[in-house]
Amino acid sequence: MNNDAAHHACIALRMYLTGDYVNLVDFGSDYLDKPHLHFWLSAMSFKIFGVNSFAYKLPSLFFSIAGIYATYGLGKLLYNTQTGKLAALILASAFAFILSNSDVRMDAILTSCIALSCWQLVAYIHQRKFINLAGAAFALALGFSTKGAIAVFVPAAAIIFYILYRKEWRSFLDPQWLLLLLLFAVLISPVLYCYYQQFNLHPEKVMRGKQHINGIKFILLNQSTERFSGKAFGGDSNKDYLFFIHSFAWAFAPWMILAIASLLERIKTLFQRKEEWLTPGLFLLVLIGVSFSGFKLPHYLNIVFPAAAIFTANYCLKQKQKEGNQKTFFIIQLSVSFLLLLLTVLLNAWIFPVKQWWVIVILIFLIAVFIYWIRSKEKILWNKIIALSTSGMVIFFFLMNTNFYPLLLQYQGGQRLAWITKDKVDPESVYYWNKEGVSSYYFYAGGLAKPFSDSILLSQNETWLLFEKKREKEILATGYSLTHRYEVVDFHVSRLTLKFLNPATREEQLSTLILAKITK
C-alpha cells in the first residue's frame, strides 16, 4: 500500500537498480529517518525473487517466525514449556502482528529482534554462556539496524527489570557485558559507516533546514529522541495520552481483555515477587513512554506484544485451574470472536462481497471449525477459549488477504497504472509532477522515481508525466501539452473513510491518476 510500505519498497528498489547500498535515497532526496537493514533485506530479496510484493514481504515473514519462536523460548525460560507455547500462539494470532506482515514496514523485524534479544539476554543470565551473549549482541544489532536505539533501549530495560526481580545484583557488574557492547559495536559498524559516508562527509547537504548533519549522532541518539518529541514529524498537536490504550484494544485482538485482566492482577502483586517483572514491567514502561511521545502511531505498540503474550499466557494457564472464572472468560472471548466475525461479514459481504468460489469453500470449512469449538464437549473450557479465539482470527485474516485487500488495492491507482502500461511505457521515461510521486506506481513499474523539470524535455525524445487529474489545469497553464494518456481511478487506501467503504457513495470519493505523454 502507498505511504510507508510502498515508500520503503521504493527505497529498496533504488538500491537494487543502482547497486548503491550505502546511500538511502527517497524520491531523489537523501532519506534521514530509518536505518538500512529493512532496505538491504528487501533489495537482496529482489535479487533472488524479482521485484514484486512477495519478495518485499518475505524477509519480514522470516523474522516474524523467528520472533514467534523467540517468544516461545522466553516464555519457557520465564515460566515453563506450556506457557511458551501458548505465548507463541497468542503472538502469532494477534491482530496487529499479523497486519505487520500484510502492510509491511519495519515493525515485524523490530518486534522479532526485541523478542530475540530479550530471550538471549535472559538465557545468558540463567546459563552464563558465550553463545547467548553473542546471540543477544547479534539480535540487538539487527534491531538497531532496523529502527535505531529503541531496539536497544527496550531489551536493556527488560533485562534490568529481570535482574531486579531476581535480586542478582552482581549481574550488573558482570564484565561480560563489555564483551556484548564490543560485539554490538562491531555488528552495527556497517550502518554507522553508511551514515558517515552519506552525511558526515557531506556537510553541505541540507536536511530539515539544517546543514552539517552528523549522521552517526543522528542514528545513535537523535533518531529516537526526535521521534519521541514529535519534531519534524508533525507530532506537536497529538496530545491524546490515551491513544495507545484504545489502540491496544484492537491491535492485540482477540486477546486484549485477557491481557488487561492479566496486567491488572500482576500490578496488584508486583512487589510480592510472586512472578517475574520483565514482561509486565516492560509493557507498562513502553506504554507510558510512548503515550507521552509527540508522534504517535498504533504500530509503536507492536514491540511489546511478545511481553504481553507471555504474561497473558501465564494468566490463562493459571485461570485454567480455577473453575469459577472459566465460564466468564468463555463468554468474553466468544463475544470478542463474534464481534470480529461481524466485522468480517461487514467487510466481505457488504463493502467488498466475496465472489471467488474457492474462497467460499475454504471459508465454509473454517466456519465449521469455529462452530465445532463452540459446541465441543471439551471438558477443559480454557481449551475451547483458546481454540475459538484463534480460529476467529484465522477466518478474519483469511478473508482479508484473499478478498478484502485484493479488491481494495484495485482502487490504488499507482499499482493498476503500472500494470496496464507494462511494456507500453518505459518507466525510466516517467516523471512525477510537483513533489507528488506515487510510490506504488514506481515499485510495480520497476523504475526510479524522478521529479519533472523543464530541462528534461530537451534531453530525451519521449517523456511521460505522472499526476493527479486535479493538477491538469495547472500543467496546461504552465505551457505544456499532454497527448497520449492512461487514466485509472485512485484512492488513498491506507486512509479509509466511511464514504469510501459505503458502496453507494464510493464513486464520489475517487480521484483520477493519469500517466500522459508531455511536450512543450
Based on the fold, state whether residues 275 and 337 are members of the same structural domain. Answer: no
Grid cell in block for residue 33: 529517518
The pLDDT tens digits of the residues spanning 183-230 come to 999 999 999 999 999 999 999 998 877 889 999 999 998 877 777 666
Q: Among 410, 426, 447, identify where a domain stops.
A: 410
| Residue 466 included in any domain | yes
In a domain, 101, yes or no: yes
Please answer whether residues 105 and 9 qualify as being in contact, where contact means their C-beta atoms are separated by less than 8 angstroms.
Answer: no
What percent of the chain has pLDDT above 90? 74
- 268 pLDDT band, cuts 50/70/90, is confident
* High-pLDDT (> 70) share of the chain, %: 97
Is there a single domain that holds both residue 173 and residue 290?
yes
Looking at the structure, tell me whether residues 399 and 418 fall in a common domain.
Answer: no
Do 238 and 132 lie in one domain? The reply is yes
Q: 3-class SS at 194?
A: helix
CA distance 437 to 425: 17
- Say whether both 292 and 425 belong to one domain: no
Each residue's pLDDT tens digit, 280-321: 999 999 998 888 877 777 888 899 999 999 999 999 999 887
Q: Of 316, 341, 359, which marks where a domain is finished?
A: 316
170 and 96 in a single domain? The answer is yes
Q: What is the span of the domain harbouring residue 401?
A: 320-410
Q: List the one residue out of 63, 72, 46 whose CA is nearest residue 101.
A: 63
Task: Evaluate whether residue 334 is within a structural domain.
Answer: yes
231 band by pLDDT with thresholds 50, 70 and 90? low
- Which residue type sits at 473? K
Residue 271 maps to a domain:
yes
Residues 489 and 460 in one domain: yes
Q: Is 489 helix (H, G, I), strand (E, B) or coil?
A: strand
Average pLDDT over residues 487-500: 92
Task: Identify the CA nearest to 390 among candidates 333, 332, 348, 326.
Answer: 333
Into how many domains does the chain fold?
A: 3
pLDDT digits (tens, 9 = 90+) for 75-122: 999 999 999 999 999 999 999 999 999 999 999 999 999 999 999 999
156 and 70 assigned to the same domain: yes
Do 311 and 366 fall into the same domain?
A: no
- pTM given for the model: 0.94
- Rounded to an integer, the average pLDDT of 28-49 is 95
Distance CA 22, CA 198 (A): 7
At 235, the pLDDT band (50, 70, 90 cuts) reads very low
For residue 490, what is the domain's CATH number?
Answer: 3.30.110
Q: Are 33 and 198 in contact (CB under 8 A)?
A: no
| 269 and 351, same domain (yes or no) | no
Across the range 42-68, mean pLDDT stands at: 97
Q: How far apart are CA 191 and CA 170, in angstroms?
A: 33
Instruction: Identify the domain boundary among 357, 385, 410.
Output: 410
Tell me the pLDDT of the chain averaged across its residues: 91
Question: What average pLDDT does range 154-160 have in this prediction?
Answer: 95
List residues bridging with 486 in a β-sheet. Answer: 515
Residue 392 lies in a domain: yes
One domain for residues 193 and 224:
yes
Contact 325, 116 (CB under 8 A): no
More confident residue, 516 or 226: 516
| Contact status, residue 91 vs residue 305, Cβ threshold 8 Å | yes
Dist. CA 213–CA 344, nearest whole Å: 48
- Say whether both 178 and 59 belong to one domain: yes
Burial track 175-204 (b if 16+ CB lie within 10 A, e otherwise): eeeeebeebbeebbebbbebbbebbbeeee
Residues β-bridged to residue 465 = 431, 516
What per-residue confidence (pLDDT) applies to 481?
92
C-alpha cell at 437: 510521486
Nine cell digits for residue 511: 480521484
Cell numbers for 399: 478473508
5 assigned to some structural domain: no
Domain assignment present for residue 111? The answer is yes
119 falls within a domain: yes
